[in-house]
Chains A and B, each alone.
Chain A
């Protein structure tokens, strides 16, 4: 089996598993909805600037929770089974792709929920969608790799947060400013600059992850 078909099989497996145990995805969706609602009833009126920051903070915490399980849920025996069958790169890549898709859905839902209760200040929908796409990708890459690290320890849920937050700051900074531009809070014509910078950061992170993962995963 080559790398590509391995990734496809693993992706299929992830999606089948997710649909079979609906509590995980249902839990995350409920998490997003209740956070949005709590934020809304505490703020009442949400201005564009606050909206922008709130959106990404909710996304950040929901993503950490959603991605955390990706390596933690795998039992040791199943890891051993993968180890004999598959290339480590295809395991990591399939998880990253799957999580990116999951976060994209999550981001869309957060956007819909926040817009439903507080209105949507987004003016340039294309830029915002692009920010959401690149953001899901960046979050997914970072958190999937950190989850692989945290899964090795016993207290993985605490570790997940303290290990991933410093690492995700570059992505988060770019996202907040990119979506601020799409809302019209920030002038300037460097949108293309920021998008390519964000893509470059995503690329660096995925490259580092792919290089380091083979050393990391086998016990």
Chain B
């Protein structure tokens, strides 16, 4: 089987598309109204869920307000109105911290089927301290939280369904880097073999690296518009991609300015290697300047492995990188072969 890697690439991408689009998100809470509560007063929270089955799983459903120190408050009333909507009432005890401090509480919902999910609410000093509900206190109680059963991607505030972009946009960027390095290596091989085959191959790979970079930039920009609010936010990884595109732009202009194929091959190979080698120092430099990067792994953002990506996502993410890389190699191979045929036709 000579073409096993092409089949593998297509299968991996099919898997990435099917699994990436069909596996649901874990249930989560879209919003809680009101989010700022007054201490010492009864309150009813209107909760809106996403992918939740509150009505069907009403039997095991439980809700608490949980403080930072782990003490919790049970609701006085739990009223499920639909699969995604619920009203839950609490008698908030008076504040124990200083009046000026705003406490952070977690509203936790739990049921045996879908596991637990949370949303943050804040508590400030009530305006009218006389209305204190004397009966309510924080209980020091241990409860058993359930974990979600079945295959699902994590629910992330702001990202929601666009979390799935991890399987399409991020691997394109990885693949661009891999293909770009491969192109530089092939350029290096050209110097030792002096065979125009390697030059054409390097050109085909560079074309694919540029295509992947463009696709990655566009998919990333569309995604960023929805989640970060801007198409372009001067993020290190956006800058690498932009510089990568500039390098390949220069590479193709350089190639087109030579008539003699041997000279073109030699000069463009030298530029390709020199230019790519400047991307590596940049990997260390740029994140230093971007104290606040929205991409994972830079600045104050937590890295991939810690919170954002769980094993379910990794199960699709890594195959997707390999899939995009193999697909790009296949396209590069085709474009290399057409270039070879064109050369042969012109020679004969």
Contact = CB atoms under 8 A, between A and B. Distances in A.
B8 interface: no
| Chain A interface residue bracket vs B | 20 to 34
Interface stretch (A9-17, A25-33, A201-209): A201-209
B243 A162 contact: no
B249 interface: yes
B148 to A, nearest CB: 43
Contact of B281 (A145, A204, A216): A204
A209 B285 contact: no
A165 interface: yes
Interface stretch (B174-182, B196-204, B252-260): B252-260
Given A153-B258, A153-B267, A170-B281, A165 B246 contact: yes
Contacts of A169: 243, 278, 282
A161 to B, nearest CB: 9
In this complex, the member of A152, A154, A209 whose beta carbon has the largest number of chain B beta carbons within 10 angstroms is A152
A173 B247 contact: no
A56 B3 CA distance: 52
B291 to A, nearest CB: 10
A188 to B, nearest CB: 10
Interface string A198-218: 001100110011001101100
A201 B284 CA distance: 10
A166 B276 CA distance: 10
Interface string B236-251: 0000000100110110
B278 A216 contact: no
Contact of A219 (B263, B282, B288): B263
Contacts of B273: 208, 212
Given A173-B285, A219-B263, A159 B254 contact: yes
Nearest to B271: A149
Contacts of B266: 215-216
B253 A162 contact: yes
Contact of A163 (B271, B282, B284, B286): B271
Given A166-B250, A166-B275, A215 B191 contact: yes
Interface in B270-305: 270-271, 273-275, 277-278, 280-282, 284-286, 288-289
A153 B257 contact: yes
A5 interface: no
Contacts of A208: 273-274, 277
Contacts of A167: 247, 274-275, 278
A190 B288 CA distance: 10
A53 interface: no
B161 to A, nearest CB: 35
A159 B257 contact: yes
B286 A173 contact: yes
A3 interface: no
Interface string B189-233: 001000000000000000000000000000000000000000000
Contacts of A115: none
A67 B259 CA distance: 25
A42 interface: no
Contacts of A165: 246
A138 to B, nearest CB: 11
A155 interface: yes
A27 B247 CA distance: 30
A101 interface: no
Nearest to B267: A152
A163 B254 contact: yes
Given A159-B257, A173-B289, A152 B263 contact: yes
A96 B266 CA distance: 21
A216 B246 contact: no
A89 interface: no
Given A152-B267, A153-B267, A166 B243 contact: yes
Contact of B250 (A152, A154, A163): A163
A186 to B, nearest CB: 10
Contacts of A191: none
Contacts of B250: 159, 162-163, 166
Contacts of A215: 191, 266, 269-270
9 contacts: A152-B258, A154-B257, A163-B275, A165-B246, A173-B285, A173-B289, A201-B281, A204-B277, A204-B281
Give the 10 A-B CB pairs with smallest separation, nearest first.
A166-B246, A153-B257, A216-B270, A163-B250, A212-B270, A201-B281, A166-B247, A162-B250, A215-B191, A170-B282
